[in-house]
């Protein structure tokens, strides 16, 4: 664990932490060679496997950024957290929890098998594809643009700019994602969808194709770490109750069938996406000693080389290292 400084918010300690993070990023960048970029969405194959970047943003504005931080990438499955939050804000938490469960599956993110075998009354959780497609069907609006607008609006509110939709990635997924269509048809058959299937899938593919950077993920994470409140303006951007559920879901289901290991070895809520992004949320901690980012922080990671579960391989290892060094675990 990093020790030795009484106050972690001085410029000197920020520089000190920056040097550490720069070293860690340089070290874990070598681990990208152990993974592969996603290829089932054809355009994602074009990502540079060696990239690794991280952005950490504290509640007090302290920011550490290192590695390939400027590269935009599509948010992919991290959008599942945002669409769930927006659906809860539109429909109410009770409505959503009556229709989507909050239990981990232990299966791959795009599994259909579980639904068929267990015949649940509702999809297992909003962070796997079946649950996320169901959530998307519950967003208000008749067209995909109408459904997406509140998602863009929330992101713009948090980020201060309106993120772009990457049309090439959207079209690539739309034209190739037979598995998600199969999940969609299955959900339609068992009566879980609340909107037209084609509009739901179009909305889902588009929400996955919103472009972000690690800085954006860090800022979204910081707001969620702060229970949905902007620490500067004190404005409530997301209701606290919704951020609580989002964090619980991320901790238990956010890294798919590697969520248990991530909770054990890293110990903070996180959500990954198949383009190589991870959002991680370190809530405020209470400890005897001063620790970096003790008041909580949001972390954005980008590393498109993935492990066999679809999570950024170097990104997870980097987060694990930082969490250990800075005692970020909530447990």
Ligand X SMILES: NC(=O)CC[C@H](N)C(=O)O
Return the active site residues.
77, 80, 204, 256, 274
**Is 77 marked as a binding-site residue?**
yes
Quick one: 111 or 180, whose CB is closer to ligand X? 180
**Is 256 marked as a binding-site residue?**
yes
DSSP annotation of 312 = B
Question: Is 172 an interacting residue with respect to ligand X (CB under 6 A)?
Answer: no
Q: Distance between CA 249 and CA 309 in Å, rounded?
A: 18
Residue 42: C-alpha distances to residues 79, 96, 139, 216, 275 (Å): 19, 33, 28, 25, 11
Question: Is 66 an interacting residue with respect to ligand X (CB under 6 A)?
Answer: no
Answer for the pair 136, 91: CB distance below 8 angstroms, yes or no. no
Helix (H, G, I), strand (E, B) or coil at 76: helix
Residue of closest CB approach to ligand X: 77
Residue 327: C-alpha distances to residues 28, 44, 224 (Å): 19, 34, 19
Quick one: 273 or 300, whose CB is closer to ligand X? 273
Quick one: 66 or 180, whose CB is closer to ligand X? 180
Answer for the pair 283, 291: CB distance below 8 angstroms, yes or no. no
Question: Is 76 an interacting residue with respect to ligand X (CB under 6 A)?
Answer: yes
Given 55, 77, 144, 195, the residue binding ligand X (CB under 6 A): 77
Min dist CB 209 to ligand X, Å, is: 8
Residue 176: C-alpha distances to residues 73, 211, 250 (Å): 19, 19, 27
Given 8, 109, 124, 192, the residue binding ligand X (CB under 6 A): 109
**Is 189 marked as a binding-site residue?**
no
Question: Is 208 an interacting residue with respect to ligand X (CB under 6 A)?
Answer: yes
Given 32, 137, 180, 243, the residue binding ligand X (CB under 6 A): 180
Question: Is 129 an interacting residue with respect to ligand X (CB under 6 A)?
Answer: yes
Min dist CB 152 to ligand X, Å, is: 17
Backbone angles phi, psi at 134, to 5 degrees: -60, -45
Where in 276-305 is the site for ligand X (CB under 6 A)?
A: none
Look-up of token digits 């798919």: 256
Question: Is 215 an interacting residue with respect to ligand X (CB under 6 A)?
Answer: no
**Is 40 marked as a binding-site residue?**
no
Quick one: 193 or 274, whose CB is closer to ligand X? 274
The angle that helices 214-225 and 240-253 make with each other, rounded to 10 degrees, is: 120
Given 13, 83, 105, 110, the residue binding ligand X (CB under 6 A): 110
Backbone angles phi, psi at 14, to 5 degrees: -60, -40
- Residue 211 parent element (H or E): strand 211-212
Question: Is 202 an interacting residue with respect to ligand X (CB under 6 A)?
Answer: no
Min dist CB 308 to ligand X, Å, is: 13
> How many residues in the shown chain lie near ligand X by CB under 6 A?
11
Q: Distance between CA 136 and CA 141 in Å, rounded?
A: 10
Min dist CB 5 to ligand X, Å, is: 38
Q: Which residues are CB-neighbours of 191 under 8 A, at least 6 positions away?
A: none
| Burial per residue of 60-79, b for 16 or more beta-carbon CB atoms within 10 angstroms, e otherwise | eebbbbbbbbeeebbbbbbb
Quick one: 13 or 136, whose CB is closer to ligand X? 136
Known binding positions for substrate? 77, 129, 173, 180, 204, 256, 274
The residue ranges that bind ligand X (CB under 6 A) are: 76-77, 109-110, 129, 173, 180, 208, 273-274, 310
Residues annotated within a binding site: 77, 129, 173, 180, 204, 256, 274
């Amino acid at each position: 664990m990093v020790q030795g400084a009484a106050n972690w918010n001085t410029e000197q300690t920020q520089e000190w932490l920056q040097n550490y993070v720069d070293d860690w990023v340089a070290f874990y960048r070598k681990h990208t060679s152990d993974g592969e970029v996603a290829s089932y969405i054809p355009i994602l194959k074009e990502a540079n496997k060696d990239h690794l970047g991280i952005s950490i943003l504290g509640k007090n504005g302290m920011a550490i950024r290192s590695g390939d931080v400027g590269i935009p990438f599509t948010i992919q499955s991290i959008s599942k957290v945002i669409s769930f939050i927006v659906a809860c804000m539109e429909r109410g938490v009770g409505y959503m929890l009556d229709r989507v469960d909050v239990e981990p599956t232990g299966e791959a993110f795009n599994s259909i098998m579980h639904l068929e075998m267990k015949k649940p009354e509702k999809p297992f959780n909003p962070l796997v594809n079946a649950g996320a497609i169901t959530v998307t069907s519950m967003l208000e609006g008749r067209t995909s643009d109408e459904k997406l607008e509140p998602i863009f609006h929330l992101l713009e509110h948090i980020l201060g700019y309106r993120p772009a939709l990457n049309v090439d990635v959207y079209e690539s997924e739309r034209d190739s994602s037979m598995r998600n269509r199969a999940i969609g048809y299955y959900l339609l058959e068992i009566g879980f969808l609340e909107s037209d299937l084609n509009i739901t899938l179009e909305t889902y593919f588009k929400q996955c194709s919103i472009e972000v950077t690690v800085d954006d993920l860090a800022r979204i994470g910081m707001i969620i770490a702060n229970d949905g409140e902007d620490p500067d303006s004190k404005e409530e951007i997301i209701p606290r109750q919704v951020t609580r559920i989002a964090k619980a879901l991320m901790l238990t289901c956010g890294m798919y069938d590697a969520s248990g290991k991530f909770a054990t070895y890293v110990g903070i809520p996180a959500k990954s996406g198949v383009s190589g992004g991870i959002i991680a949320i370190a809530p405020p901690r209470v400890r005897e000693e001063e620790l970096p980012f003790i008041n909580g922080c949001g972390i954005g990671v980008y590393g498109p080389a993935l492990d066999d579960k679809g999570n950024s391989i170097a990104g997870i290892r980097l987060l694990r290292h930082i969490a250990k060094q800075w005692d970020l675990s909530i447990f």
